[in-house]
Structure 1
Amino acid sequence: MKKNALNFLESVELNFKARDESIGANFSKILLINKHNNDIKEQIKGKFILLGVPDDRGVLANLGNPGAKNGPQLFRDSFYKLYDTQLHRFNPITQKPNTKDQKQYHNRNFLSERFIDVGNIILAETIEETHNRIADVIELLLQNEAKLIFVLGGGHDFSYGSYKGHVNYKKDEIIPIINFDAHFDLRPVINGSINSGTAFYRIIQDFNKNIINGKALLEIGIQRERNPHSLFEFALKHEVKTIEYISFLDIWRDYNTGNSQIPSEHIHDHIDDCSKFGFNRKTGSIHVSLCLDVFDQAIAPGTSASTPLGAQMKDLSLSLAFFGKNHTCRIMDIAELCPARDTHDQTSRLCASIVYRIALLREEYSNR
């Protein structure tokens, strides 16, 4: 870890008026990283982290639509307008309030007090060096015991950087990836040109041990019309578990085995498989990558490459709830938020609500 990782961060400003009861009513109450405070752990430990990557150069290099560089800012505008709420503790098994806590509800802390916004990554001259900066920041945050890091993009290529930071922290451990996406993002790097479709190809190439040559990668939501057949062949060669979403039949089918079940069951099976390979379910950590184009463009039009026949929120709610309640999820990438293509901030509001709900589940229902 580089000691100057904090120098790769720039603070952000919010330019909106919020109601008094909202998370962003008084921005001074939202914890911001203090680069000059020597005790970083005091700021980071046990917090939900917001980290922006305002970069769409990888999207443009992949001949995609511009605008995702503004994704982190629009996310914040939507997120800080949400109402704050007191936290209650529920038994994760019975789903009922903990009896001993019932008399203390009125004294509960608010959800906003659990967040710290560390700002945006300062972009380097190259995409590759920007990814290295992301990796250094992620490693720093994990070493200082951040609870869950939300990395907000930005082109999906940044997932390489966030995963690299995860690897630098966990070293030789297996780190499963669950990628919710209509696209594989397994495109090869040709002549050194990194783009938004190369993240997981690069991860398999550079972190083979952590991803078990691809076996620890789950691609869920893949659509056949949105991926060249060469990527299916690459996934098959590297034993990447591929779950195809077939919209007309409304089924989620393992492309190789034909097994059809709901997304959360595919995820549980994948984690079981990773455990057999050596993933430690108690002390290990999982990397989640949510590309917003996995959703149908009717609910998420504001992505770099929206999907006409994508998933509905109800399809993935159980899966997202699982990662909300499960402490093994340490990093969640949220990619391809593209304000230039959004309608009435529809996608940024969806994204903000997902982050809010995941944090709420982690605080109220998790058992460790």
Structure 2
Amino acid sequence: MKRFLYPKINPPSFTWVNLESGGVSKVHEWIQPITTLNDVKRSKEAEVVILGVPLSRSSISASGASEFPEAFRRSWRSFATYNLDEDVDLAEMTALDIGDVPMHVTDISKCHDNIIQASAMVHSHFHDSKVCAIGGDHSITAMMVKGMKQAKPSDKIGILQFDTHFDLRDMSDNGPSNGTPMRNLIESGVVDGSHMYNIGLHGFFNTKDLKQYAEEKGVNYFTLRTARKKGIEETVQQCLEELSSKVDTIYLTVDMDVLDIAYAPGVPASTPGGMTTEELLEGVLAAGRHPKVKAMDIVCLDPLKDTHVQPTVKLGTHVFLTFLTGVMLRQSASN
């Protein structure tokens, strides 16, 4: 029997086989794959939905980020559902792995169209779920947000971006690559520039014309030095407070190249001077706690460049679990 999501979404590339044990303590025991039409009713009750987006042909840097969704799933066994720092057990939420967006072997535009269609379907069917897209390179963000807009056309969407780069390169030179997703959203009219907030820019990794374009379009940005002086959590909270007064829905995008190269060997464009692990997790937790943050993605993590113990893959999974910890804390605060 074909799944109700087929053909827009393929089954997960990797699933865990779990024996009935009567209890859930590990992430791989908690997150469940959707496999048949019988899961339709249960799926609508999911608080968290995971969608793999295995595309990295559109990356400016040579990248195997398309391999991250499977590596992400394989890493689950290393994590408990209980977060000691916040005294939160994620197993109290329903989390479903709905599979991967199908990708064309050579046609990047077809891949992007598939992502838009899959995103629109996911946001329509899982209307109240937190949609977590696991990339893939950063080009997927523009497509995921375009799909969200199709599903919720009346919503104004804002972007909270953790990134070393503006990702505002000229579309005429770079096309819909991982260097252009924010410009893509601005020029397509899906997201207003003033509804974008970027935290983490630093050093010698953006050209001056990109800064000028950001200012022309009203993009809000905080260099990492500025954010550190103010405090990462305080900066994120300020961005969310300003965004929430302007938009209906906030989309969080975490480009793993925001991390210092020392913390992210598995990121093709990682740089010196970036965020520490602690800073990124602190920022993501704050974002997860905000009620208007309805979706997120993790992008530009290449398991093929990681070391044999996969530290960057594990950190990517930690980012995902930290975001969901914030979601649970937000739910507890509202009860």
Q: TM-score when scaled to structure 2?
A: 0.85
Displacement after TM superposition at 1:77 (Å):
1.1
Matched letter for residue 76 of structure 1: R
User: Using a 3 Å threshold, how does the CA distance of structure 1 residues 275 and 69 change in structure 2: closer, same or farther?
Assistant: closer
Asked whether 1:180 is paired with 2:162, we answer yes
Match of 1:91 in 2: none
Asked whether 1:65 is paired with 2:62, we answer yes
CA distance in 1, matches of 2:118, 2:301: 21
CA distance in 2, matches of 1:330, 1:81: 26
Match of 2:33 in 1: 32
Residues 66-145 of structure 1: matches in 2 within 5 Å?
A: 66-85=63-82, 111=91, 114-124=94-104, 125-143=106-124, 144-145=126-127
Match of 1:348 in 2: 313
User: Using a 3 Å threshold, how does the CA distance of structure 1 residues 342 and 112 change in structure 2: closer, same or farther?
Assistant: farther
Match of 1:252 in 2: 227
Match of 1:233 in 2: 212
CA distance in 1, matches of 2:223, 2:178: 20
Displacement after TM superposition at 1:324 (Å):
2.0
CA distance in 1, matches of 2:5, 2:114: 7
Q: How many residues align?
A: 322
Residues 17-56 of structure 1: matches in 2 within 5 Å?
A: 21-24=25-28, 30-34=31-35, 36-37=37-38, 40=40, 42-56=42-56
Displacement after TM superposition at 1:30 (Å):
4.3
Matched letter for residue 252 of structure 1: A
Contact 1:9 1:118 in 2 (8 A): yes
Match of 1:105 in 2: none
Residues 277-316 of structure 1: matches in 2 within 5 Å?
A: 278-279=246-247, 284-316=248-280
CA distance in 2, matches of 1:290, 1:141: 20
Displacement after TM superposition at 1:96 (Å):
9.4
Matched letter for residue 242 of structure 1: Y
Match of 2:235 in 1: 266
Percent sequence identity over aligned pairs: 23
Matched letter for residue 116 of structure 1: L
User: Using a 3 Å threshold, how does the CA distance of structure 1 residues 35 and 159 change in structure 2: closer, same or farther?
Assistant: farther
Match of 1:9 in 2: 9
User: Using a 3 Å threshold, how does the CA distance of structure 1 residues 162 and 233 change in structure 2: closer, same or farther?
Assistant: same
Displacement after TM superposition at 1:336 (Å):
0.5
**SS of the residue 2:222 aligns to:** strand
**SS of the residue 2:268 aligns to:** coil
Q: Deviations over 1:54-107 (max 9, x none)?
A: 111111xx2x1221111111111112432244x99xxxxxx899xxxxxxxxxx
Displacement after TM superposition at 1:190 (Å):
1.8
- Which of the two has higher C-alpha Rg? 1
Displacement after TM superposition at 1:45 (Å):
2.9
Q: TM-score when scaled to structure 1?
A: 0.78
Displacement after TM superposition at 1:153 (Å):
1.0
| Aligned-residue CA RMSD (Å) | 3.0
Match of 1:103 in 2: none
Matched letter for residue 316 of structure 1: L
User: Using a 3 Å threshold, how does the CA distance of structure 1 residues 335 and 112 change in structure 2: closer, same or farther?
Assistant: farther
Contact 1:139 1:165 in 2 (8 A): yes
